[in-house]
Amino acid sequence: MKEKIQEAIQQALDEAPERKFVETLEFSFTIKDVDLKNPTNRIQEEIRLPHGRGKDISIAMFASGEMAVKAKDAGVDVLDPSTIEDLGGNRQQARKIAKKYDFFLSEVPHMGNIGRFLGQVLGPRGKMPRPVPPVMDIGALSNGLRTTSMIRSRDKITFHGPIGSRSQTIDELTENAMAIWNRVMGRLERGHNNIRSCYVKTSMGPSVKIEVIN
């Protein structure tokens, strides 16, 4: 599979027009013969990519006081916890923030309010904050997230996730893609036999199909 995936990535890069921004490359899966009504069959994987995402990853944290200072020192944007309820009442602004950041963190005491007021916006996007206890190293946590790809099927047979970006080499992108492929195959009962189709594409480029041998 590695050779087929590498060929597809190269074709996707070759066929995508140059853009004025660094495009992300994405892996897309459509699975078959999997009962996703059963939550235990749903795929939700955080995969550390061996060569990172190839672009800046934005992280925000609901924090105040000393934790806010630690977050800023770690290069994490700080969101004032007192604004959680107001954001919940302004769906447009809540969606804007959800789109702006790749990952969210939060001090533990604020998780209840976040679930209550922002859960409907962040939850479906797979962006509910990770609770951060006072003893946790925010720098180490955020550094790990900057190299992480989230693959999440929910109850849909088609799902996707980032491989990396056009700033990376073909070998780096291939190794990243293989890390995702192997993790997804490991979650499927029949491995590649549960794959109906698989594609790779840049953010705004055409999809390139990867032949999966069953």
Summarised one tens digit per residue, pLDDT across range 21-39 is: 889 999 999 999 999 999 9
Q: Is residue 107 part of a domain?
A: yes
CATH number of domain containing 45: 3.30.190.20
Cα–Cα distance measured from residue 188 to residue 121, given in angstroms and rounded to the nearest whole number: 29
CATH number at residue 97: 3.40.50.790
User: Which tokens in the block code for residue 116?
Assistant: 């209550």
Task: Band the pLDDT of 3: cuts 50, 70, 90.
Answer: very high
Helix segments in the chain, DSSP class H: 2-15, 65-73, 84-88, 91-100, 111-122, 138-145, 170-187
- Say which DSSP state 114 is in: H
DSSP annotation of 192? G
Give alpha helix (H) positions in 55-148: 65-73, 84-88, 91-100, 111-122, 138-145
pLDDT band at 214 (very low <50, low <70, confident <90, very high): low
pLDDT tens figures, 155-213: 999 999 999 999 999 999 999 999 999 999 999 999 999 999 999 999 889 999 999 87
Residues 49, 112, single domain; the answer is no
Distance CA 214, CA 119 (A): 39
pTM of the model: 0.86
Q: Which domain, by its residues, includes 125?
A: 59-145
Verify that 84 and 31 share a domain, yes or no: no
Do both 49 and 83 map to the same domain?
Answer: no
